[in-house]
């Protein structure tokens, strides 16, 4: 997909988080418009601020239950780096990761996750489960939730409202 990337090393951490989240939102739009996928986008950024990988949900188009945006972004980053470890990276994702994605983040040694909307049904970063900071794991991931969360939630809600023939929020 590509697109315009936020500049590395500029602004506060909050500003940087919001800029990368907007990039993830661009991917949600692509998922919905090009593939009619549930609009979730993810961007994996290296410790130096470089884009390592990006993805959007591809479950339907790829017939793959594991093709969540987070997994797609991590697979791209792993190929780019030639390594299954993504040490020091931050994942920006429009929806709180599920248990599958959360454990992949732990195994990949991702340093930080920043998500938009909380997932009260399957969220595994504090909403339903808290897998990323569980002290029983040999690696823990810092979590920042709710970044542009209202907008992220509205995007998802509107996707499902259209599917059900209901008016947009």
pTM over 0.75: yes
Three-class DSSP category at 34: helix
Which residues belong to the active site? 70
Residues 6+ apart with CB under 8 A from 62: none
pLDDT tens across 61-104, in order? 999 999 999 999 999 999 999 999 999 999 999 999 999 999 99
44 in Cβ contact with 86 (< 8 Å): yes
C-alpha to C-alpha distance for 32 and 96, rounded to whole angstroms: 18
pLDDT tens across 122-141, in order? 999 999 999 999 999 999 99
Q: Identify the helix (H) or strand (E) that includes residue 18.
A: helix 13-35
- Listed in sequence order, the DSSP H helices in 36-124 are 59-62, 69-81, 99-108
Residue 72 CB neighbour total at 10 angstroms: 26
């Amino acid at each position: 997909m590509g697109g315009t990337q936020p500049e590395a090393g500029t602004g506060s951490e909050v500003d940087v988080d919001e800029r990368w989240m907007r990039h993830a939102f661009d991917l949600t739009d692509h998922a919905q418009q090009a593939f009619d996928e549930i609009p979730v986008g993810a961007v994996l950024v290296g410790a130096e601020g470089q884009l390592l990988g990006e993805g959007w949900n591809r479950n339907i188009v790829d017939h793959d239950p594991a093709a969540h945006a987070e997994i797609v972004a991590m697979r791209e980053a792993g190929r780019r780096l030639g390594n299954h470890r993504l040490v020091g990276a931050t994942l920006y994702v429009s929806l709180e990761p599920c248990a599958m994605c959360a454990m992949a983040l732990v195994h990949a040694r991702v340093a930080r996750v920043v998500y938009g909307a909380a997932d009260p049904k399957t969220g595994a970063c504090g909403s339903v489960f808290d897998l990323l900071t569980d002290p029983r794991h040999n690696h823990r991931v810092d979590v920042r939730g709710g970044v542009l969360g209202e907008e992220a939630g509205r995007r998802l809600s509107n996707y499902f409202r259209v599917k059900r023939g209901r008016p947009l929020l």
